[in-house]
Amino acid sequence: MSKLKFLKINGVELKSNLKFQTFIGLAAVLFLFRVFIYSADSIIWVIINELFVTVTLASLYFYLLDLIHLKTINPLALVMNIGIINALIFFLFTFSNVILGGLISKAESSNINHGLLYNLISFVYSMFIMGSLATVFLAFRELYFYRQKKNVSTYFNTMIFFFILASISSLLSKSPDLKYIKDTFFIISVLLILINSIRISWIAFIVKKEKISLLVLSIIISILFFVNLIHSSSDNIHAQMLTAFSPSLNLFLKIIMTYGAIYFSILFFTTLFHIPTAEAFDRKAQEVNFLQYFSKLITESVDFKELAETVTDIAIKVCNGNAAWIAWKEEDGFKSIANKNIGYYDSNNLTNFIFKNKLEKNSDQSSIIKLKKYSNRPQLSEEIFYLASAPLKAHNEIKGYLIIAKKNDVIFDDEDNNAMDTFSDYASLAIENSRLLEESIVKERLEKELDVAREIQRKILPAKNPEYRNLSISSVFIPAFEVGGDYYDFFEITKDKFGFIIADVSGKGISAAFIMAEIKGIFESLSQTFERPKDILIKANKILERTLDRKNFVSAAYGVFDLKKEIVTISRAGHCPVLLIRNNIAENLRPSGIGLGLNFGSQFIDSLDEIEIKLHDNDIIVLYTDGITEAKNKELEDFGSAHFEKILLDHSDCSTDEISNSVMREVTLFSQNNSQHDDITLVILKWKQNFNKDGEIEWQNSAPQLKTQVM
Amino acid sequence: MAEFSTSVKDAGDVNIIYLKGYLDAHTAPVLENTFSNLVDNGRYSLVVNFKELSYISSAGLGVFMAFIEKIRENKGDIKLSAMNDKVFNIFDLLGFPLLYEIYKEENEAVSKFSQIKKLENGK
């Protein structure tokens, strides 16, 4: 039981082993039969002999069939195999008179039983022929079925059937009356061979180089088969020995030799006819391969440079060029990339030459340029005669050209042109894809950066406004998509005194956000050390000299509210004016001052002013950034300071929250069809001098909203 | 999106830069390029004509700051001219009139350069 299991595991090996053993066994029986029993006089023994030979040959054939099926089939290798075996047979036949004759005469002269020796020689010789025939026939069978589209086994099996009939009928040839039977079967076999040999379909699938070697091989092999056929038909020792061994084996040999001669003659002519179209066929096959490869690349490749390299690499092969490059459009002309077989100096010269002479007609199709026509071609590579260019497009815009150059006199033909068109379309697609991907990566990175900037800004701005008995404060901040650099803050100095700042950092994004953070730190500490707004701004400017980039600056207004003295002191460094709404009049408080970071010398200090305002009841102080006054509508008109002041005046009786809500509502309405480009900041402070308890209640009732709105 | 472009005119020793459109954080590099090309070629006497500029943002103002130091070190200057009221207001708020010469007309600015030249030659 266990042995059987083991046998099953090695199924394939065992099967062929078993067949090999069967063959060896049959061969041994055949040999013994011939030595001890066989007699050519008895018709029964002759028939039994033929049967043994047939069965042995069949078992050898099936054994070899198993072996060959383990390998992948290569038609050229099969042809080579047939050739080698055929050559061996050829040598054997040529020297059969010498070798076999010598051996037989030696056997006859020896003292040992020469009948046994003769038998041995003829047996080994016949076995060799059998092996060769089985192998060759098997190879023919594989060639026949290789790359066959239709089921053609019936034709082949019919042929085998007639082979066997012809072989067996050779027994009848002893009587001349019945010889016609053998001849008839033989002729039918030959006809079937002819029919079957015409179906050679695998030729088309091999490349040109292989076709040429096949042409040479097939003519040699067909000649060999013819020679061998003549040898086996003539009366020599070989024929005598093989006929003595088995007449049908001899006939089978003749049939196979005929088959070979016919098959390889036809193969020769078929190949010959295929050669002229071989190149075109190869090219189409190559094109298909490249396009397949390319469509795979489109979905995989991210790197633009790598892609460009592949494009030029394949373009040379598809269009049979000598050199290739991509002329990529840049702001200041074309730049060569991914050069193949050509230097950048030469390729740039050629590109410039093409476009200077307007040889490339900005068309959507590829075009061929003959440089020969231009006698004035200056300093161009002497070797190059023809150029073919095809546009590479993305978003319907020509991004560059794929240029292929030919060094010799062979012109680009229509085929090259077509191939180039197809190819450049694919290349355009691939390039567009990779560009889009790259863009989206950059965009994503920028968006991440902006997220960080917004987060910084959000953390820097005050979470809530300070609360005082006589002062109501309301603030609104709306960040732009790209962080605009607006900043406002309050700093408590004493119980009755606090500082406030509103600032706008130049630029946008993360760099603006970092400067904002710095400004916060500077003012936070300066507000505790110095009292006068002017001094604080001067010190702040001094500190910023060390860190601020030349092209960056900060507009700021800083003020101090003294609630006890009822005084507000304001200094302005280039910022929008501070608005004072009093008695239904809007006053622009605009003490002179240069923006922080614009000047670090005496001009900044000398020009900086400071104003002091004695607060009246219901005074409203408005701090804002240009995000409000420069908010734009669809016609790109500004919201404007007049519009802004009017809203403030119209609502001056309302609470601070109501005022800021009204302003924001108007700004939003005004710019609803346009995106917000800059941060918007609005801080409103309202002074209630004659504070009483009712007043406070009145405020709270009328202003139920949150004190700080950060949208 | 709003467009921005510059063009440069050669007027003897002085170069005039014409600005057109919207100058903001996105278009500022265009002006930066114009300035650095001029400065690289040793052109330090520059007049900027703002006549066709409709808007300037803080990033746009920053471009002038980026080059003024080097230009003045080389005895040159950037003089601004022909601003509309809105653009002037932005410059004015930030205190630019204290730092830059701003003229109503391009000619005035150009002639200011030649006056200085004459004075120098007179010495």
Give pLDDT, residue A416. Answer: 75
Give pLDDT, residue A698. Answer: 41
pLDDT exceeds 50 at position A1: no
Minimum CA–CA partner of B58 in chain A? A506
The residue that leads in pLDDT, A46 or B68, is B68
Work out the angle between the directed axes of helices A656-670 and A641-650 (0-180°, nearest 10).
140
Would an 8 Å CB–CB cutoff place B5 in contact with chain A? no
Q: Indicate the range of A157-161, A375-379, A384-388, B83-87 predicted with least confidence.
A: A375-379
pLDDT band at residue A654 under the 50/70/90 scheme? very high
pLDDT band at residue A220 under the 50/70/90 scheme? very high
Mutate to test the interface with A, among B30, B39, B69, B94 (most CBs of A within 10 A): B94
- The answer to whether the beta carbons of residues A571 and A537 sit under 8 Å apart is yes
Nearest partner of A31 among A140, A97, A116, judged by Cα: A116
The residue that leads in pLDDT, B62 or A116, is B62
pLDDT exceeds 50 at position A2: no
**Encoding tokens for residue A289?**
């391969």
The residue that leads in pLDDT, B121 or A118, is A118
For A264-332, the DSSP string reads HHHHHHHHHHHHHHHHHHHHHHHHHHHHHHHHHHHHH---HHHHHHHHHHHHHHHHT-SEEEEEEEETT
Q: Do B58 and A485 touch (CB under 8 A)?
A: yes
Overall average pLDDT of the A92-96 stretch: 81
Minimum CA–CA partner of A601 in chain B? B99
List residues in chain A touching B: CB distance below 8 A. Answer: 482, 485, 504-508, 550-553, 555, 573-577, 592-595, 597-599, 603, 607, 626, 630, 636, 638, 677-678
**Encoding tokens for residue A148?**
């066959």
Mutate to test the interface with B, among A551, A555, A605, A624 (most CBs of B within 10 A): A551
Would an 8 Å CB–CB cutoff place B116 in contact with chain A? no
Share of chain A above pLDDT 70, in %: 89
Q: Do B94 and A555 touch (CB under 8 A)?
A: yes
Give pLDDT, residue A251. Answer: 86
Overall average pLDDT of the A124-152 stretch: 83
Q: Do B59 and A485 touch (CB under 8 A)?
A: no
Would an 8 Å CB–CB cutoff place B61 in contact with chain A? yes
A 10 A CB-CB count for A84 gives 12
- Chain B residues closer than 8 Å to A593 by CB: 95
pLDDT exceeds 80 at position A200: no
- The answer to whether the beta carbons of residues A110 and A117 sit under 8 Å apart is yes
pLDDT single digits (tens) A565-602? 999 999 999 999 999 999 999 999 999 999 999 999 89
Overall average pLDDT of the A93-115 stretch: 75
Would an 8 Å CB–CB cutoff place B94 in contact with chain A? yes
Separation in Å, CA of A509 to nearest CA in chain B: 10
Q: Do A598 and B25 touch (CB under 8 A)?
A: no
- Chain A residues closer than 8 Å to B95 by CB: 573-574, 592-595, 598-599, 607
Average pLDDT of chain A to the nearest whole number = 83
d(CA A281, CA A74): 19
A507, A592, A594: residue with CB nearest B62: A507
d(CA A270, CA A272): 5
pLDDT band at residue A662 under the 50/70/90 scheme? very high
pLDDT exceeds 60 at position A4: no
Give pLDDT, residue A710. Answer: 46
Share of chain A above pLDDT 90, in %: 27
d(CA A407, CA A195): 48
Residues 6+ apart with CB under 8 A from A646: none
pLDDT single digits (tens) B75-97? 999 999 999 998 999 999 999 99
Overall average pLDDT of the A23-52 stretch: 83
Q: Do B62 and A576 touch (CB under 8 A)?
A: no
Give pLDDT, residue A375. Answer: 54
Separation in Å, CA of A506 to nearest CA in chain B: 5
Q: Which amino acid is at A569?
A: T
Q: Do B95 and A677 touch (CB under 8 A)?
A: no
pLDDT band at residue B53 under the 50/70/90 scheme? very high
The C-alpha R_g of chain B, in whole angstroms, comes to 14
Separation in Å, CA of B24 to nearest CA in chain A: 9
Separation in Å, CA of A438 to nearest CA in chain B: 20
Mutate to test the interface with B, among A450, A555, A598 (most CBs of B within 10 A): A598
Q: Do B93 and A593 touch (CB under 8 A)?
A: no
- Chain A residues closer than 8 Å to B54 by CB: 636
Q: Do B95 and A574 touch (CB under 8 A)?
A: yes
Helix (H, G, I), strand (E, B) or coil at A396: coil
B55, B58, B69: residue with CB nearest A506: B58
pLDDT exceeds 90 at position A62: no
Q: Do A607 and B95 touch (CB under 8 A)?
A: yes
Would an 8 Å CB–CB cutoff place B24 in contact with chain A? yes
Selection from A238-242, A484-488, A532-536, A550-554 with the highest mean pLDDT: A532-536
Q: Do A594 and B93 touch (CB under 8 A)?
A: no
- Chain B residues closer than 8 Å to A551 by CB: 62-63, 65-66
Separation in Å, CA of A684 to nearest CA in chain B: 21
Give pLDDT, residue A456. Answer: 85
pLDDT exceeds 60 at position A517: yes
Give pLDDT, residue A598. Answer: 92
Q: Which amino acid is at A233?
A: S
pLDDT band at residue A380 under the 50/70/90 scheme? low
Alpha-carbon distances, residue A698 vs A123, A358, A688, A692, A705 (angstroms): 129, 80, 12, 10, 14
pLDDT band at residue A78 under the 50/70/90 scheme? confident
- Chain B residues closer than 8 Å to A507 by CB: 25, 58-59, 62
- The answer to whether the beta carbons of residues A51 and A188 sit under 8 Å apart is no
Give pLDDT, residue A556. Answer: 96
- The answer to whether the beta carbons of residues A528 and B79 sit under 8 Å apart is no
Give pLDDT, residue A614. Answer: 95
Give pLDDT, residue A409. Answer: 67
Q: Indicate the range of A130-139, A299-308, A388-397, A567-576 predicted with least confidence.
A: A299-308
Separation in Å, CA of B106 to nearest CA in chain A: 24
Minimum CA–CA partner of B60 in chain A? A507
For A555-608, the DSSP string reads EEEEEEEETTTTEEEEEEEBPPPEEEEETTEEEEE----PPBTT--SHHHHHH-
pLDDT single digits (tens) A39-53? 777 778 888 888 888
B54, B62, B95: residue with CB nearest A551: B62
Give pLDDT, residue A573. Answer: 96
Give pLDDT, residue A5. Answer: 42
B66, B94, B98: residue with CB nearest A551: B66
Separation in Å, CA of A609 to nearest CA in chain B: 12
- Chain B residues closer than 8 Å to A677 by CB: 24
For A273-311, give one letter per residue: b (16+ CB within 10 A) or e: ebeeebeebebeeebeebbeebeebbeebeebeebbbbb
d(CA A184, CA A190): 10
d(CA A364, CA A348): 22
Q: Do A506 and B69 touch (CB under 8 A)?
A: no
Separation in Å, CA of B35 to nearest CA in chain A: 13
pLDDT exceeds 60 at position A476: yes
Give pLDDT, residue A319. Answer: 76
